[in-house]
Amino acid sequence: MRMVLFLRGVTEEAVFSILAGLQALYDKYKDRDFVILGFPCNQDGDIAYPTSKFGGQEPKDDEAIGEFCVRNHGVSFPLMKKSDVNGDSTNEVFKWLKNEKAGLLGLTRIKWNFEKFLVDKEGKVAHRWASTTTPEHIDAEVAKIL
């Protein structure tokens, strides 16, 4: 079984160095049963979670997102189809991830772009990181678990 880092990300956000750092992380560990799965999101949000709008920062279609990430950031880790991560239409993967590992103050909703979850080789959600967590910090945790 592989260790998987699930990423809720966008291409329009100004934090492009995160994608480069995540690509470096993927390159470092991909031959050791580690993979990053990117999930673009352009969710409109809902009344219950008005902060889950994410600024409409992912208007491109799936093909254009992939092309943009490869061309501008050299991304080679898999990118999934655009998915909702909060509310009634939440992708099943994110329902499970959020249920297994709540965020700060026990909140389950995804608060912003580049929130990350690490699932270990046994299928346990080992970590959940906020948008501000750097790939370098994640590298240290991946190294411990691998």
| Residue numbers annotated as active site | 72
Long-range pairs for 55-62: beta carbons < 8 A, 24 or more residues apart: 55/13, 57/10, 57/11, 57/12, 57/13, 57/113, 58/10, 58/11, 58/12, 58/82, 59/12, 60/11
CA atoms within 13 A on the CB side of 86: 23
DSSP 8-state secondary structure symbol assigned to residue 31: G
b/e code 58-73 from CB counts within 10 Å (16+ = b): bebeeeebbebbeeeb
Nearest to 57 by CA among 20, 90, 10, 111: 10
